[in-house]
Amino acid sequence: MSDDLMTTIRPLVEKAFPFVERMGLRLDHIEPGRVRMTCPLEPNTNHIGTMYAGALFTLAEIPGGALFLSTFDAATYYPIVKGMEIKFVKLASTDISVEVSISPEEVARVSAEADANGKADFEWDCELTDAEGNVVCVTTNRYQLRRHGS
């Protein structure tokens, strides 16, 4: 992991949005093409003492920004969330983690398409897991990379 990436991106991910900061989301690992984050159970519990569904959704969505910042040129491009599907598999009663990644080939494809057309769609699936490694929910995340000035 690049300490420079962590030092630069951690405050943008953990502190830039007051809502996310109140949740206590943590950026655990970042490198070009790969991000791992964790959401603590407290203060994100619901009326039955498990993790609030909105917190799980946020944990699945926020890594997309970190992935963008670690992988693409922010001076050239910016990301847009186009959609997300989420399926809740199991109650989340511990801290929850997620790891997202994008291959170098997909980065090259998306960048080339955005250069040619001003924008490019891409997506990935992710699994949110509890402290024992059990999957608590799965998502399909749809993003669009846009070129500045397009």
Domain of residue 134: give its range. 3-147
The reported pLDDT for the residue numbered 95 is 99
Number of domains the chain is built from: 1
Q: What's the CA angle centered on 86, arms 84 and 91, to 5 degrees?
A: 150
- Residue environment code for 102-136, b if the CB has 16+ CB neighbours within 10 A, otherwise e: beeeebeebbebbeeeeebebbbebbbbbeeeeeb
The reported pLDDT for the residue numbered 1 is 46
Per-residue pLDDT of the chain (150 residues; tens, 9 = 90+): 467 888 888 888 888 888 899 999 999 999 999 999 999 999 999 999 999 999 999 999 999 999 999 999 999 999 999 999 999 999 999 999 999 999 999 999 999 999 999 999 999 999 999 999 999 999 999 999 999 987
Q: What is the CATH number of the domain that holds 15?
A: 3.10.129.10
The reported pLDDT for the residue numbered 27 is 96
The reported pLDDT for the residue numbered 2 is 62
Contact 59, 100 (CB under 8 A): no
Taking the C-alpha atoms of residue 150 and residue 147, their distance in angstroms, rounded to an integer, is 6
- Note the pTM of the prediction, 2 decimals: 0.91
